[in-house]
Amino acid sequence: MQNQILPIYQEIDRFNYPNYSQKTMKEFLESLKEGKFRIPICQNCDSKIWPPANICSNCYSGRIRMSKLESKGRLIEHSSSFIGSSEILGLVEIAGIRLIGIIREGNLKPGNHVKLTKCGINKDNSPYYEFSVV
């Protein structure tokens, strides 16, 4: 019996990416490393692909472009962390996607408008995000 998902792999071969399986995440992390927050967008249906993946979860297309996202969002919830240094962590929604990051200002309420002010990669290769209230 032939593999049912063959058409997807034919689509991938068409673009001739030898290391296709890691391409999107690699591009995402490389942008973050430069302090730029870019996420994959499906070229077929315009869906945001979050978390980053190589194939659109809406239409299964492998045609993906990286796109800058607006930096302003809304605070959903926040909490204090006492692991290492004391920090305020917040769950933020920007243009329909959610990120957890450090909030640099106090006196927060859910619904506050916040802005992504900094992003990058930690030494352990995990992404980090910082927000401030606008």
Q: Contact positions toward Zn ion, by CB under 5 A?
A: 42, 44-45, 47, 56, 58-59, 61
- Nearest residue (CB) to Zn ion, 12 versus 121: 12
Query: Nearest approach, Cβ of 57 to Zn ion (angstroms)?
Result: 8
Residue 60: alpha-carbon gap to chain centroid: 18
What is the identity of the amino acid at 12? I
Q: Indicate the residue among 45 and 95 with the shorter CB distance to Zn ion.
A: 45
Shortest distance (Å) from residue 47 CB to Zn ion: 5
* Alpha carbons 114 and 99: distance in angstroms, whole number: 12
Q: Which is nearer to Zn ion, 69 or 116 (CB)?
A: 69
Contact in structure between 36 and 67 (CB atoms under 8 Å): no
Contact status, residue 75 vs residue 112, Cβ threshold 8 Å:
yes
The least distance separating Zn ion from the CB of residue 42, rounded to whole angstroms, comes to 3
Residue 40 CB, nearest approach to Zn ion (Å): 10
Nearer to Zn ion, 49 or 92 (CB): 49
Residue number with CB closer to Zn ion (58 or 81): 58
Minimum distance of Zn ion from residue 67's CB (angstroms): 13
- Measured CA to CA, the distance from residue 51 to residue 98 in angstroms comes to 9
**Signed CA dihedral, 58, 59, 62, 68: sign only:** negative
C-alpha dist (Å) from residue 46 to 36, 43, 96, 121: 20, 6, 13, 27
